[in-house]
Amino acid sequence: MPGGTCEATAYQLRGYRSAALCVALGNYHNCGPDNEIAAEYVSVSDVQGLVRLCARIATSEAKKNQAVKALKKRLRNNAEKYRKMLKKRL
């Protein structure tokens, strides 16, 4: 989930290993074409790719400290980038 954060972000900042994974969802929140209710669905090949990714993560030697440093840097940069906009809304 490179575009955002989730509940695991707070844990990562404190050094806990955590991750967020997702699969693209068709008819998100059951919203189909022309505002019709439709079943959500995922691509089987996307799920297979996610399984391969999970297996790779489980067998890799993760560099935890680098990941935490990168996360802190990203959050600091975002805070600085949006600071003025957020102050205007308060």
| C-alpha to C-alpha distances, 59 to 23, 32, 52, 66, nearest whole angstrom | 21, 38, 11, 18
Collapse the DSSP code of 26 into the 3-class scheme (helix H, G, I; strand E, B; otherwise coil) and give the result. Answer: strand
Which amino acid would we find at residue 25? L
Record the pTM.
0.51
Burial of residue 71, with CB atoms counted within 10 A of its CB: 0-12 exposed, 13-18 middle, 19 or more buried: middle
- Give the domain ranges of the chain: 22-89
pLDDT band at 3 (very low <50, low <70, confident <90, very high): low
Q: How does pLDDT run across 26-84, given as a tens digit for each residue? A: 998 899 999 899 999 999 999 999 999 988 877 877 666 677 788 889 889 988 998 88
| Of 69, 82, 50, the residue nearest 12 (C-alpha) | 69
Q: Read off φ and ψ for residue 48, nearest 5 degrees.
A: -60, -40
User: In 1-90, where does DSSP find H-type helix?
Assistant: 8-13, 44-59, 64-89
